[in-house]
Structure 1
Amino acid sequence: MVHPVTSMVTPSPVKTFGFLVLPNFTTIGLASAVETLRMANLAARRPLYRTVLIAASLEPVTASNGMRVLPDHGLGDAPPLDALFVVGANPIDRSRATRPLTDWLRQLARQQVPLGGICTGSYLLAKADLLKGYRCTIHWEDLQVLQEHFPGIVISSQLFELDRDRYTCSGGVAAMDMMLQLVAREADGQAIAAKAAELLLCDRVRGERERQRVPLRTLLGSGQPKLSQVVAIMEANLEEPLGLEELASLNDVTVRQLERLFHKHLQRTPSQYYLELRLSRARELLLRSDVQVREVALACGFSSPAHFSKSYSRFFGLSPLGERRQASLH
């Protein structure tokens, strides 16, 4: 049973979050965001958030799965907002970035309304020139499109990015993770977010540092078979990591050539990438099994628990035991 969150803090005003739905929007992204805010209201036993659907007109908007939703407002009669999230089309429809739409988004930005993107919503924000100087993300299928069309913005492969007043996520259930993190920022927010996650049957709240599982073929394309082969060998040898010389030899390249490939296509050294693979595997074991930390360290190629803990803390921002304790609270 989920117990209500109680507090002596004076209740905050209800925040109005708007969701701009574009034709062919992703239903799962919209529902994950809206339902999370509804669960936050239930967990707090008082209204914290009000959600409104906004569209270019008051006509029904059809989602990518054929479902139709009726917007509450058009651009011209939208209420004052505490945040606006663009729920993007799947696939990206560049024709939807109309002048009235981008002008309206820029107007909200001038009014200092936080702006967000769900799934491909980041594309419209970028088209409106509202992501320069911000970190943002988008679904892995559209990372290259965003990079090619907007080379001046910082794009990550994280599940979501909360950078000052820009909130973007990769779509799907990552919208739930993003909303839970926004809820957690408020007064009593950590407890409310934890209870909301329980109501959503979410076993843990994923943080900003977690990455999308981007298929390597998507990052590299078909033109880098050597690099793909090296990474496959790394993934198959996490418990007993291979040295750079051995990796290079197995793939008929020099260590220098290997380093250049990783730097050019993955923006990391081979050692850094290998370490991230091992740490990501360790995190899965910590959160999804009861394996002791010492055994996790050995299974992921660390010679001692102390070395493992130091590396893990540096990368994820908390120790292996701290990670496991935090997960148990949600």
Structure 2
Amino acid sequence: MLQPSPTAPRTYGFLVLPNFTTIGLASAVETLRMANLAARRTLFRSVLIAATPDPVTASNGMRILPDHGIADAPALDALFVVGANPISYDRSTRPLIDWLRQLARQRVPLGGICTGSHLLARADLLKGYRCTIHWEDIEALKERFPGIIISNQLFELDRDRYTCSGGVAAMDMMLQLVARQDDGLAIAAKAAELLLCDRVRGERERQRVPLRTLLGTAQPKLSQVVAIMEANLEEPLGLEELASLNDVTVRQLERLFHKYLQRTPSQYYLELRLSRARELLLRSDAQVREIALACGFTSPAHFSKSYSRFFGLSPLGERRQASLH
């Protein structure tokens, strides 16, 4: 049985839009419930809010009855927009936009789950903030709102704006928000165990965007080069050899990577190797030296320096942090 909290529970509101994604909402709300169980007291209260008190239909056909309409919503410690799939451009969202702006003026932290970032952007509430959205909608958001800083991270916690890419990434975001509370690290770790989550993913982790989605079918040579890179992580190939294998010049190869992947071939190759190294660190018992060699690094020192620069933690620090969860 949960004990009363010595301080008032934090009330997190979830604004559900028609055709909202059920998995994003459930991942967020259930994480807060598990945090309460882990703490053995009520730290968080979740309330469902909609434009009106009428039932709202999710993208999978499920219907839910909100606790409040926006007209009678309670005081909130944070509000998360659970976005529609597909994104809606319906003008009926105007009252929601006005309400979100009112909350922003009251300095209520605002968040977006899945495509929820889109409505925050329409309300002009993401300028100057880093945000994210599901990888399928990144380009559309960039085109419609060119002044917004959009990443392909799983989630972004930038001051009083909390956004995530959707799905189970909502759980990762909520666990990180739980960890920010008093005694939060231990509570978040226990909540993750209750959720059968083997590790708590951090802000620096990226969505796995399929390359075919980034490139389409118009760049078969670039796709082929990346496939060769992925098959040769232990003994990386030089740019000249990669170019020769694909009947292009090094200059052409560099232009392709810059245009379609916004990085040099060497940078992309290094990221592939480091991402593979991270998988081995977190999912195997291999020694750091062994992992370094398996991912094409000739010395553990060079590997550690590259890893720290990219992920913000040393390989050993990464393992220690993962063991805490």
TM-score (norm 2): 0.96
Higher mean C-alpha displacement, 210-219 vs 254-263? 254-263
Higher mean C-alpha displacement, 45-54 vs 223-232? 223-232
Gap regions ≥5 residues in structure 1: 5-9
1:33 aligns with 2:28: yes
Write out aligned runs for 1:194-209 (5 A): 194-209=189-204
Query: CA 1:97/1:190 → structure 2, altered by over 3 Å: closer, same or farther?
Result: farther
1:174 to 169, 192, 211: 169
1:66 aligned partner, one-letter code: G
1:92 to 87, 93, 99: 87
Paired residue for 2:8? 13
Supply the distance in 2 between the matched residues of 1:85 and 1:300 (Cα, whole angstroms): 39
1:313 to 305, 308, 311: 308
Assess if the C-alpha contact under 8 Å between 1:97 and 1:124 holds in 2.
Answer: no
1:146 aligns with 2:152: no
Paired residue for 2:48? 53
Higher mean C-alpha displacement, 249-258 vs 117-126? 249-258
Query: CA 1:191/1:96 → structure 2, altered by over 3 Å: closer, same or farther?
Result: farther
Query: Cα RMSD (Å) of the superposition?
Result: 1.4
**1:54-74 Cα deviation digits (max 9, x unpaired):** 001111111111111100000
Query: CA 1:45/1:254 → structure 2, altered by over 3 Å: closer, same or farther?
Result: same
Fraction of identical pairs, as percent: 87
1:214 to 201, 209, 226: 209
1:80 to 71, 75, 87: 75
Query: CA 1:97/1:269 → structure 2, altered by over 3 Å: closer, same or farther?
Result: farther
1:266 aligned partner, one-letter code: L
Following superposition, the deviation at residue 224 of structure 1 comes to 2.0
Supply the distance in 2 between the matched residues of 1:164 and 1:251 (Cα, whole angstroms): 45
1:125 aligns with 2:120: yes
Following superposition, the deviation at residue 96 of structure 1 comes to 6.0
Assess if the C-alpha contact under 8 Å between 1:22 and 1:96 holds in 2.
Answer: no
Supply the distance in 2 between the matched residues of 1:96 and 1:164 (Cα, whole angstroms): 29
TM-score (norm 1): 0.95
Paired residue for 1:235? 230
Following superposition, the deviation at residue 223 of structure 1 comes to 2.1
Following superposition, the deviation at residue 11 of structure 1 comes to 4.2
1:115 to 81, 93, 110: 110
Supply the distance in 1 between the matched residues of 2:92 and 2:249 (Cα, whole angstroms): 47
1:160 aligns with 2:155: yes
SS of equivalent to 1:321: helix
SS of equivalent to 2:80: strand
Paired residue for 1:65? 60
1:323 to 310, 318, 322: 318
Paired residue for 1:7? none
Higher mean C-alpha displacement, 17-26 vs 147-156? 147-156
